[in-house]
Amino acid sequence: MNTHVYAADIANFEKQYRTNLINGLAGIKSAILVGTQGKDGQTNLAIFSQVVHVGANPPLMGILHRPVSVEKHTYENIITNEYFTLNHVPIEKYKDAHQTSARYQRSQSEFEHCGFSEEFTPHIQAPYVKESKLKIGLKLAEIIPITSNDTLLIIGSVEEIIAAEGIIEAEGFLNLNNSKTALVHGLETYYQAEKVSRLPYAKPIK
């Protein structure tokens, strides 16, 4: 027997129930740590799951960022410094990655407080996560406000990719079994991925 839930029901749900339900509808996604730093060099690390592929040529990726009505260190660092990194979370570090969602003060770097190591390259003015096997360095390209609810889509151009051995395979495919990328559903439930199959480009069947 199916359960039907309507807009009027959703509006009347208790806040936490509604948050859990609506957050979960978009399904499971990869857990990604976003690394940034302020002009003063203060680093920040925050877990995101809403990371999108915007385009391959030019190479663009985006992160969906909640409204910035309260203090948001990631956003502030990106607009002032214009660089950010995306770091796939290795599954064995999922608890530490989740801990970055706690409200630390700006002066407290989540790298130090949550057990991750900073790594820098000459090309990107933001810290990478050393423990991650697949990391992307981006330069801010565009910030798009979503007027419906003041969420922001922050888009960056891919300037650098750092991949551990065994990640980039023939034809440019990425092996995410080897990166052991953690997955997250909603804000709190972690999953790991098991590969089923790679399918060929689909064509209409005659």
Task: Write out the binding residues for a second copy, residues 145-174 only, by CB under 8 A.
Answer: 146-149, 151, 153, 155, 157-165, 167-168, 171-174
Binding residue for a second copy, selected from 12, 80, 117, 192, defined by CB under 8 A: 192
Residues 140, 84 contacting (CB under 8 angstroms): yes
DSSP H helical segments within 49-166, as ranges?
A: 73-81, 94-99, 110-114
State yes or no: residue 185 binds a second copy (CB under 8 A).
Answer: yes
Helices (H), 38-72: none
Distances (CA, A) of 101 to 126, 140, 167, 176, 202: 19, 22, 27, 24, 39
Closer by beta carbon to a second copy, 41 or else 172 = 172
Closest CA to 44 of 14, 87, 1: 87
**129 contacts a second copy (rule: CB under 8 A):** no
**Could you tell me the smallest distance in angstroms from the CB atom of residue 37 to a second copy?**
20
Residue 30 sits in the site that holds a second copy (CB under 8 A): yes
The answer to whether residue 81 forms part of the interface with a second copy (CB under 8 A) is no
Question: Does 202 engage in binding with a second copy (CB under 8 A)?
Answer: yes
Among 40, 41, 56, 70, binds a second copy (CB under 8 A): 56
Residue 77 or 128: the one with the smaller Cβ distance to a second copy is: 128
23 near a second copy, rule: CB under 8 A: yes
**For residue 35, what are the β-bridge partners?**
45, 85
The two structure tokens encoding residue 193? 């991925």
Applying CB under 8 A, among 42, 81, 101, 178 the residue interacting with a second copy is 101
Q: Does 86 bind a second copy (CB under 8 A)?
A: yes
Cis peptide upstream of residue 59 (ω within 30 degrees of 0) = no
